[in-house]
Chain A
Amino acid sequence: MTKGDKLLVVLVVILSFTAMGYIRRQAFSKNGIYISVQVAGEEVKRIILDSKLVGTRIPIQSKYGYNLIELGDNSIRVIEADCPDKIDVKKGPISRIGETIVCLPNRMVIEIKGIEEDTEMDIINR
């Protein structure tokens, strides 16, 4: 064991442990739940909920209209809209996978999506 060997070992250990920590924190947080905001069928925003983002307001401006959405703790709601009936504002916050808020006049859909847990294996490759 020379000094270079020991340095290499220490370097690899540090690198892989930081990578493991990073992966654990980033990739698997909230089980892959995210919010998809679509206007006229196209995804314009993709939001991953985080406790740091509570209270953040995001304006969605498109050629069909204007909506203001607010992120809460594990939920999302529309607080302002320029559509006539305001159904999206009355709907209140949504928090579970599959729930949607729809604003038809503005052609906006907010949907909570989750990466489906696929427990069955496709193939075993060895």
Chain B
Amino acid sequence: MRKLNKMIFISLLVSIGLALSVLEMAMPLPISMPGARLGLSNMVVLITIVVFGFKDGIKVSLLKSTVLMLITGSISSFIYSISGAVLSCIMMYLSFRFLSKIFSLIGVSIIGALSHNFAQISVAAIIMSNLRIYTYLPFLMILSLFTGYFVGLSSGYIVKHLKKNFRTLFVR
């Protein structure tokens, strides 16, 4: 029963992430920069990593990217988003696991946003076979500070309550 509960909860998280992604696409940004996103759905991945661990975190992020491709129908954005999702998931887990004494969730989320951007830019550089795309990275890095801060702050609040309610249910 516990396994089923967990499965249902993870699929709920995935669908929340998808809803956030779709909502985010409808949201106009004040600055017009390709590749700049709020990254609201990163919140879901971060929460999953904190509450359930790495395996489920990467499951959620892979599922989210794949189903988002089915929703939007854009393959090229899928390539970008899946590479960013995998790298940011790994980096967030490592920094949460080993550096949580130094960083709070805000720092972890900023690291996730930075690595997401890095992976995306790298993939773009490979696809267009032009290393000059990396000159775009500093601008995205500045932006990812703000989005990462926001995501980390809000997931901190969510995790606080989730842990209280679900620890007994899911974690052994």
Nearest residue, chain A, Cβ from B114: A12
Please, what's the 1-or-0 string for A1-45, where 1 marks a CB less than 8 Å from any CB in chain B?
Answer: 111110011001101110110010001000000000000000000
Indicate if A52 sits at the interface (CB-CB under 8 A): no
Q: A5 contacts B138, CB within 8 Å?
A: no
Q: Are B77 and A126 within 8 A (Cβ)?
A: yes
Residue B172 at the chain A interface, CB threshold 8 Å: no
**How many A-B Cβ pairs are below 8 Å?**
56
Taking the complex as formed, is A125 at the interface, i.e. its CB lies under 8 A from any CB of chain B? yes
B110 touches A126 (CB 8 A): no
Q: Are B103 and A5 in contact (CB under 8 A)?
A: yes
Given the contacts A2-B102, A126-B34, A12 and B107 also touching, CB distance less than 8 Å? no
Query: With a CB–CB cut-off of 8 A, which chain A residues contact B142?
Result: 12-13, 16-17
Question: Does B76 lie at the interface of the complex (its beta carbon under 8 Å from any beta carbon of A)?
Answer: yes
For A5, what are the chain B residues with a Cβ–Cβ distance below 8 Å? 103-104, 106-107, 110
Given contacts A2-B103, A19-B138, contact A8 B132 (CB under 8 A): no
In the bound assembly, the distance between CA atoms of A27 and B134 in angstroms comes to 12
Which residues of chain B come closer than 8 Å to A20, judged between CB atoms? Answer: 138-139
Q: Does B99 contact A (CB under 8 A)?
A: yes
Partner of B104, one of A1, A23, A27: A1
Instruction: Name the A residues within 8 Å of B102 (CB-CB).
Output: 2-4
The smallest C-beta distance from A4 to any residue of chain B, in angstroms, reads 3
Could you write out 6 A-B pairs with CB less than 8 Å apart?
A1-B104, A2-B102, A5-B107, A9-B110, A20-B139, A125-B76
Please report B residues at the A interface, Cβ cutoff 8 Å: 34, 74, 76-77, 99, 102-104, 106-107, 110-111, 114, 124, 127-128, 132, 135, 137-139, 141-142, 145, 149
Q: 4 closest pairs, A vs B, by CB?
A: A4-B102, A16-B138, A5-B107, A19-B138
Residues of A near any B CB (own CB < 8 A): 1-5, 8-9, 12-13, 15-17, 19-20, 23, 27, 125-126
Other CB < 8 Å A-B pairs besides A5-B107, A12-B114, A19-B137, 12 of them? Answer: A1-B104, A1-B106, A2-B104, A2-B107, A3-B102, A4-B99, A8-B110, A12-B142, A17-B142, A23-B135, A126-B74, A126-B77
